Structure 1
Amino acid sequence: MLTIIEIFLIAVAMSVDAFSVAFGIGCSYNTPRHYFRLSWHFGLFQFIMPILGSFLGRILLTWVGNINIIAALILFYIAYRMVKESFKDDEQKCSLNDPTRGWSLVVLSVATSMDALGVGVSLALYKGSIIFPSLIIGFVCAIGTLMGVYFGKISRHFTGKYAELFGATVLVVIGIKFLVV
């Protein structure tokens, strides 16, 4: 069973992608409307995806007796992607057209929450309700998104690289816990 601290650390790790995208958008688009749109949509999708992932994970659990290895491998893969993403330069992150409307916003919301879908599969092992961890993930992501837009606004040279690396490290540690326990 995951502790509240572990759930919070997973939430922080999951919010890193949203932070990075919000940072890039905040370089050019940082009105209160942009803050609201991004934080609401990113947080909502980060809330929904672990629930969907957990549902899929519970289906997998009925087919496979023990999915700890699968859960750990998913977390390791997500961590790998986060490390890879951390090496993108700031110019790539700051060269977006206004993505805070329509389908662009939906696509970004889905893209930044795909990791949370994978974490949801891993959380199928969690004995409690998936709603509480999902709420924490969604809330932390919304706050992380607000911070991303803000930091993007104040500095084009601030990088999310270290945040990505921190998030990846958290996921690797949680993945190792799945393998050991």
Structure 2
Amino acid sequence: MGAADIFLIALGLGMDAAAVSLAASAAGYAGNARAVFRLSFHFGLFQFLFPVLGWFLGLGLLVFIQAFSHWVAFLLLMVVGGRMVISGLDPNPESHGKDPSRGMTMVMLSIAVSIDALAVGLSFAMLGVAIWFPSIVIGVVTSGMSLLAIRIGRHLGAMLGKRMEIVGGVVLIGIGFRILLVQLLA
């Protein structure tokens, strides 16, 4: 897997965090430097940690499913990407009454936007991809996307949040198809 693929996966995974950051900013929760730091740092940190966790879990399962690893990676990315697209199309977004950049709300949001990264880490293990470089890229890209989304959210409001989630889901689905095709045509 090349650097371009890793970067595209990072962009796809960062869409959820960016959508949350955009919505938090548009709602006025990221109005000071501390809130901006908390959102971007935690999203990046969790997006870095979850692929590593998924990768280590995947190593334990590798012996059992190595012959089907490309199908497993494809299905995981399809499910994750499809879920993101469906969530992006949902006209009734969840409303948060509390400041999302503080306390357990921040931790829960960080976990929620990083579950997809766990599945990607599992897929990387099954494909034999080393985890450290992709995880660093995913974490840094997510932090950067969160910072950018906060800035955009201040100017454009929450209407772009769901579109970003849809784009992220489509990117993950595309990567899943690419992985499957590369393995089937090899």
TM-score, normalisation: structure 2:
0.89
> 1:81-160 alignment to 2 at 5 Å?
81-89=83-91, 92=93, 96-160=97-161
CA contact (8 A) 2:23 2:161 kept: no
Shift of 1:34: 1.1
Return 133-142 or 23-32, whichever deviates more: 23-32
Q: Distance in 1 between matches of 2:157 and 2:168?
A: 21
CA contact (8 A) 2:81 2:170 kept: yes
Name the residue aligned to 1:175. 176
Could you say what secondary structure the match of 1:65 adopts? helix
Q: Distance in 2 between matches of 1:124 and 1:179?
A: 15
1:16 aligns with 2:15: yes
For structure 1, the 5+ residue unaligned runs are none
| Residue type at the aligned position of 2:70 | N
Q: Distance in 1 between matches of 2:50 and 2:142?
A: 12
Shift of 1:33: 0.9
| Residue type at the aligned position of 2:113 | T
> CA, structure 1 residues 65+92, in 2 after alignment: closer, same or farther (shift >3 Å)?
closer
Q: Distance in 1 between matches of 2:126 and 2:94?
A: 35
Paired residues, number: 179
CA RMSD between the two structures:
1.7
CA offsets per residue over residues 57-116 of structure 1, 9 Å max, x none? 121111223221111100000111111121244x83675421211111111110110000
| Residue type at the aligned position of 1:147 | L
CA contact (8 A) 1:47 1:137 kept: yes
| Residue type at the aligned position of 1:79 | G
Name the residue aligned to 2:6. 7
CA contact (8 A) 2:55 2:125 kept: yes
Q: Distance in 1 between matches of 2:23 and 2:135?
A: 25
Shift of 1:162: 3.0
TM-score, normalisation: structure 1:
0.91
Structure with the higher helix share, 1 or 2? 2
| Residue type at the aligned position of 1:36 | F
Could you say what secondary structure the match of 1:98 adopts? coil
